[in-house]
Amino acid sequence: MLAANRLGYCTAVLLTLAAAVSAQHEPHWLASRNTIVHLFEWKWTDIAAECERFLAPRGFAGVQVSPVAENVVIPGRPWWERYQPVSYKLITRSGNETEFADMVRRCNDVGVRIYVDVLLNHMAATHEGAVYGTGGSVAYPSAKYFPAVPYTEEDFHDTCDIQDWNDRYQVQNCELICLKDLDQSSVRVRTHLLRFLNYLVELGVAGFRVDAAKHIPAEELKLIYDNVVNLNTAHGFPFNARPFIYQEVVDHGYEAVSKYEYSPLGAVTEFRFSEEIGGAFRGHNQLKWLRNWGPAWGFLPSAHAFVFVDNHDNQREGGRVLTYKNAKQYKMATAFTLAYPYGITRVMSSFDFVEHDQAPPADADEVILSPQFDTAGACMNGWVCEHRWRQIYNMIGFKNAVRGTEMSNWWDNDDNQIAFCRGNRGFIAFNGNNWELTQRLYTCLSAGVYCDVISGALVNGKCTGKAVLVDEWGFADIKLGADEFDGVLAIHVQAKMEERKERLERNLIRLLATRACRQCHLYLILKLKCAPCIKIMEEYSVYTLK
Q: Which residues are catalytic?
A: 211, 248
- In eight-state DSSP terms, residue 370 is P
> Do residues 210 and 248 touch, judged by C-beta distance below 8 A?
yes
CA dihedral sign of residues 99, 104, 107, 108? negative
Q: Which amino acid is at 26?
A: E
Over 416-464, what HEC string results?
Answer: CEEEEEECCCEEEEEECCCCCEEEEEECCCCCEEEECCCCCCEECCEEC
Over 212-250, what HEC string results?
Answer: CHHHCCHHHHHHHHCCCCCCCHHHCCCCCCCCEEEECCC
**For the stretch 215-230, what's the b/e string if a residue is b when 16 or more beta carbons lie within 10 angstroms of its beta carbon?**
bbbbebbbebbeebee
Contacts 24+ apart (CB under 8 A), 254-259: 255/165, 255/166, 255/214, 256/165, 256/166, 256/167, 256/168, 256/171, 257/168, 257/171, 257/172, 257/214, 259/214, 259/300
User: Max Cα separation, the chain?
Assistant: 111
CA distances in angstroms from 113 to 29, 51, 105, 305, 348, listed in the order given: 7, 9, 9, 19, 16
- What is the separation of C-alpha 254 from the centre of its chain, rounded to a whole number of angstroms? 27
How big is the CA angle at 289 (ends 288 and 295), to the nearest 5 degrees? 145
CA dihedral sign of residues 146, 148, 152, 158? negative
* Whole-angstrom distance, CA of residue 74 vs CA of residue 62: 30
Neighbours of 135 (CB within 10 A): 18
Q: Count of H helices and E strands in the chain?
A: 12, 22
* Whole-angstrom distance, CA of residue 80 vs CA of residue 313: 9
Element (H, E) at 345: strand 344-349
- What is the separation of C-alpha 359 from the centre of its chain, rounded to a whole number of angstroms? 23
Over 21-90, what HEC string results?
Answer: HHHCCCCCCCCCCCEEEEECCCCHHHHHHHHHHHHHHHCCCEEEECCCCCEECCCCCCHHHHHCECCCCC
